[in-house]
């Protein structure tokens, strides 16, 4: 109640004090609509921060707010937004709870949703044989852990024994138990590993292993989003194995990832409708529902024409707020800055229904910082990349952003970017700009620009700078 009151006072513009500790990240823009969206999202997301003294430990809400709980899909999506807001302890604790609870008795699932008491949420769990579980979950967690490592530089997420055990079990026992091998996807039987006797009217029976995030049908054999999740998990695992020096295993995982990805392009594209099917039924019929969002989220499409058509389909479809919460960042990184901007403003508009769903505000934080401000991290190279994805001629800045164990301030203004390293270690800054430029100005001096062509055919120009602690650099297009 206190948390909700703080949020209501904030958006009403009333000055008040609060016992809630505020992360220091700040955002400013000459576009007041965008700036207001940031602070609405920040206040709302912080209102979902749990009490670290609860039995589960540090946590934030990532499910229906009334449950005082967090589920795998939502945590995996909200985690970058949570890092931006200073919820590092919460991310580490929640992801550790998930990977620690994988078990053979649950057929290598973990708990889909946990509550503040440190227990599986009773809304989704009765016992190890009867529970709700979307099969995307394990693969989603692999992806989330890799992104946490990339953003924070903390190898705990990929090297701790409990995490490595989870990754191994997911890519071996879990795949086998749920018949998710690449050549079994369209042939797997319905209701695998169901309780005996089976009661189709009991959703803890029929939903124990939903092969998609699309929950509107009970007869789905496999969803395209699940195939995309598997492809992404193998690709992340290949990157981990490469980091650990396991070349052969890395190459094997890369081949497996590509095998799943190719199935999407070869078997799921509907040439007549010029879009991807999103599910395949137990009666061997392709159909369309939710799911296209995750083709972008998992970044599994290589054909720029099909990406454009998928984005056009999403823009023209009435989506729920959960799906829309993913799209601000996705639109921006695929070069659709206008759509990203409109989506952010829509999600934070006071009239938008269900904007209080936790994924929405965390997704807007991600959409502004990673999407509009174009901030990304590569832990292996200790590199922060910036690329201003804003459709209008306004300036914007973000201060006290924690990334790669450093704290940075970033300002974009037209075709000029400035980064300050307030951390305790040097970082490499890749200052990137849209367009093809042979030279850039680094602190007023001409430097060679390197060109990169993105998947959509858009070109960017960049230069790399080693930025020492306490130092500031400015890079501009001449």
User: Position of tokens 């190898």?
Assistant: 155
Specify the CATH class of 54-360 in words. Answer: mainly alpha
Count helices and strands (H / E) in the chain: 16, 23
- For 381-476, CATH number out of 2.60.40, 2.30.29, 3.30.2010, 2.30.30 equals 2.60.40
Bond into 197 cis (ω within 30) = yes
Q: Across-strand partners of 113?
A: 71
CB 190 within 8 A of CB 254: no
Task: Tell me how far apart the 2 most distant CA atoms of the chain are, in Å.
Answer: 74
Burial annotation 217-232 (CB, 10 A radius, 16+ → b, else e): eeebbbbbbbbbbbbb
Cα angle 431, 42, 232 (rounded to 5 degrees) comes to: 60
What is the separation of C-alpha 102 from the centre of its chain, rounded to a whole number of angstroms?
Answer: 22
**pLDDT for the residue 16:** 36
Domains 54-360 and 381-476 share a fold: no
- Tell me the C-alpha distance between 408 and 373, whole Å: 13
**pLDDT for the residue 14:** 31
- Closest by alpha carbon to 180, among 248, 128, 134, 247? 134
> What backbone phi and psi angles, to 5 degrees, belong to 81?
-60, -40
Q: Residue ranges per domain, the chain?
A: 54-360, 381-476
**pLDDT for the residue 299:** 97
Write out residues in the chain with pLDDT < 50, as ranges: 1-23
Q: Across-strand partners of 419?
A: 410, 473
- Tell me the C-alpha distance between 441 and 359, whole Å: 39
């Amino acid at each position: 109640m206190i948390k909700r009151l703080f949020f209501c006072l904030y958006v009403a513009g009333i000055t008040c004090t609060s016992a809630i500790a505020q992360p220091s990240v700040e955002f400013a823009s000459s576009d007041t609509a965008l700036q207001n969206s940031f602070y609405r999202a920040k206040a709302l997301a912080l209102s979902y921060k749990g009490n670290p003294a609860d039995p589960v430990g540090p946590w934030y809400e990532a499910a229906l707010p009334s449950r005082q709980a967090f589920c795998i899909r939502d945590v995996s999506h909200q985690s970058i937004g949570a890092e931006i807001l200073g919820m590092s302890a919460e991310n580490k604790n929640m992801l550790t709870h998930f990977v620690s609870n994988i078990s053979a008795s649950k057929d290598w699932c973990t708990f889909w949703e946990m509550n503040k008491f440190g227990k599986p949420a009773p809304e989704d769990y009765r016992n190890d044989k009867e529970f709700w579980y979307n099969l995307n979950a394990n693969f989603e967690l692999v992806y989330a852990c890799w992104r946490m490592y990339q953003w924070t530089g903390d190898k705990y997420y990929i090297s701790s024994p409990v995490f490595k055990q989870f990754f191994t079990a997911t890519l071996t026992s879990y795949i086998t138990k749920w018949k998710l091998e690449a050549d079994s996807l369209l042939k797997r039987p319905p209701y695998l590993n169901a309780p005996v006797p089976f009661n189709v009217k009991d959703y803890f029976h029929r939903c124990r292993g939903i092969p998609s995030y699309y929950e509107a049908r009970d007869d789905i054999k496999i969803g395209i989003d699940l195939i995309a999740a598997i492809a992404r998990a193998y690709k992340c695992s290949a990157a981990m194995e490469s980091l650990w020096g396991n070349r052969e295993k890395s190459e094997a995982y890369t081949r497996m990832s590509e095998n799943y990805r190719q199935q999407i392009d070869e078997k799921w594209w509907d040439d007549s409708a010029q879009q991807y099917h999103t599910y395949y039924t137990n009666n061997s019929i392709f159909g369309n529902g939710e799911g296209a969002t995750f083709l972008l989220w998992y970044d599994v499409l290589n054909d720029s024409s099909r990406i454009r058509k998928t984005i056009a389909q999403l823009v023209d479809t009435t989506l729920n707020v959960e799906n829309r919460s993913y799209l601000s960042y996705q639109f921006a990184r695929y070069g659709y800055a206008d759509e990203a901007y409109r989506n952010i403003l829509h999600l934070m508009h006071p009239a938008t229904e269900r904007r209080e769903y936790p994924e929405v505000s965390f997704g807007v934080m991600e959409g502004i910082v990673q999407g509009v401000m174009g901030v990304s991290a590569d832990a292996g190279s200790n590199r922060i990349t910036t690329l201003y994805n804003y459709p209008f001629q306004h300036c914007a800045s973000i201060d006290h952003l924690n990334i790669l164990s450093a704290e940075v301030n970033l300002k974009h203004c037209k075709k000029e970017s400035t980064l300050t390293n307030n951390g305790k270690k040097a970082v490499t800054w890749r200052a990137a700009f849209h367009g093809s430029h042979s030279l850039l100005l680094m602190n007023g001096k001409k430097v060679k620009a390197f060109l990169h062509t993105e998947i959509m055919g858009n070109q960017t120009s960049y230069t790399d700078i080693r930025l020492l602690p306490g130092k500031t650099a400015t890079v501009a297009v001449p």
